[in-house]
């Protein structure tokens, strides 16, 4: 999955069945024909309804080798890079969609020393089919602007899935929030560029997820995953190496999200939920048919045993 999907909603759509241990200790099969209400709810509502002990998943052939695009450009070309990415997505029949990242160049040997610490805009993404075709198809994304660094290339699918692992070391402090946007205006892009440059910790980023594709084409009534139709998700990542910088990162993330709210018509992604400090308001905003989810929760977990999550509270 990973770079192949437009957004994580596709992982819900490709789940075709599961066995679940409920709060009452029952082991239930959930799929389109058996306990269909529970099957609908877990695809988006997550662990609110029980413990999944096994699942059936629809897979697709990928690899073993793929082409991965990973190019960093100067941030003063951000509008050009993001507009080119939009045009590319609209014209590309394969359904490929990159993710754009705004941040500061890390001090690693892969990038020239004079670029370390400088703001960048990057495009990253995996082409899921033939790597030779991927190299040709993704060439326009690599030539939008003179790059700070281009780490694109053929690689094993497993390597593509782990290419960003070193950016998220164990033991660091992470606080991520998100907001959906109906448009990516020049004003929004300028705000994102300024916000990324103002991050108190240099490994923090602002990510632009281009949504749509198969996720938006799917029947939105088939799962509880929400906000399928919104074309852009902005993820703001506060990543701090030291505890001393974590509070400043949290404040920065919250301020960025608050500033973007004026452009949003609603919707968040619950995997980027911060500390879930908004409670039920956040959960409602991230899911489809919240009241229906409450009914399913009340049926399968009336005592709210499974509550240490983006919680859906039962009635009563």
Q: Is residue 270 included in any domain, yes or no?
A: no
Instruction: Tell me how many domains the chain contains.
Output: 2
Least confident of 78-82, 100-104, 228-232, 289-293: 228-232
Q: Is residue 278 included in any domain, yes or no?
A: no
CATH code for the domain in which residue 110 is found: 3.40.462.20
Q: Is residue 269 included in any domain, yes or no?
A: no
Q: Are residues 52 and 70 in the same domain?
A: no
Segment 261-281 shows an average pLDDT of 94
Q: Are residues 43 and 87 in the same domain?
A: no
Residue 48 has pLDDT above 60, yes or no: yes
Q: Are residues 73 and 210 in the same domain?
A: yes
Q: Is residue 32 included in any domain, yes or no?
A: yes
Q: Are residues 176 and 249 in the same domain?
A: yes
Q: Are residues 134 and 25 in the same domain?
A: no
Q: Are residues 176 and 72 in the same domain?
A: yes
Q: Are residues 133 and 30 in the same domain?
A: no
Q: Which residue reads 């309804």 in tokens? A: 49
CB 254 within 8 A of CB 245: no
Q: Is residue 305 included in any domain, yes or no?
A: no
Q: Is residue 243 included in any domain, yes or no?
A: yes
pLDDT in tens, 150-186: 999 999 999 999 989 888 999 999 999 999 999 999 9
Q: Are residues 16 and 98 in the same domain?
A: no
Q: Are residues 39 and 168 in the same domain?
A: no
Question: Can you give the pLDDT at residue 166?
Answer: 87
Q: Is residue 193 included in any domain, yes or no?
A: yes
Q: Are residues 35 and 91 in the same domain?
A: no
Tell me which residue range forms the domain holding 76. 65-263
Residue 14 — very low, low, confident or very high, per pLDDT cuts 50/70/90?
A: confident
Residue 304 has pLDDT above 90, yes or no: yes
Segment 259-280 shows an average pLDDT of 94
CATH code for the domain in which residue 34 is found: 3.30.465.10
What's the sign of the alpha-carbon dihedral 242, 245, 247, 249? negative
270: which residues sit within 8 A by CB, 6+ positions away? 46, 282, 283, 286, 287, 310
């Amino acid at each position: 999955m990973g770079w192949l999907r437009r957004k994580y909603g596709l992982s819900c759509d490709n789940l075709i069945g599961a066995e679940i241990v409920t709060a009452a200790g029952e082991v239930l099969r959930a799929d389109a024909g058996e306990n269909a209400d529970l099957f609908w709810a877990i695809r988006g509502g997550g662990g609110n309804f029980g413990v999944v002990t096994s699942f059936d998943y629809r897979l697709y052939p990928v690899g073993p080798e793929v082409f991965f695009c990973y190019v960093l450009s100067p941030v003063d070309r951000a509008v050009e890079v993001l507009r080119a990415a939009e045009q590319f997505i609209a014209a590309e029949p394969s359904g490929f969609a990159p993710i754009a990242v705004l941040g500061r160049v890390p001090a690693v040997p892969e990038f020239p020393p004079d670029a370390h610490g400088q703001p960048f805009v990057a495009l990253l993404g995996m082409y899921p089919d033939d790597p030779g075709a991927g190299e040709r198809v993704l060439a326009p994304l690599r030539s939008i602007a003179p790059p700070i660094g281009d780490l694109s290339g053929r690689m094993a699918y497993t390597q593509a899935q782990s290419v960003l692992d070193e950016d998220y070391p164990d033991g660091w402090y992470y606080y991520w929030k998100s907001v959906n946007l109906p448009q990516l205006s020049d004003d929004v892009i300028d705000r994102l560029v300024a916000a990324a440059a103002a991050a108190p910790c240099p490994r923090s980023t602002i990510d632009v997820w281009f949504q749509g594709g198969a996720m938006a084409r799917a029947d939105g009534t088939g799962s509880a995953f929400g906000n399928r139709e919104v074309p852009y998700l902005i993820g703001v990542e506060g990543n701090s190496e030291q505890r001393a910088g974590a509070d400043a990162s949290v404040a920065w993330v919250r301020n960025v999200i608050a500033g973007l709210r004026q452009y949003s018509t609603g919707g968040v992604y619950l995997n980027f939920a911060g500390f879930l400090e908004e409670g039920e308001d956040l959960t409602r905003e991230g899911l489809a048919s919240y009241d229906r989810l409450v009914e399913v929760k009340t049926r399968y977990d009336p005592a709210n045993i499974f509550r240490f999550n983006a919680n859906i509270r039962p009635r009563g």
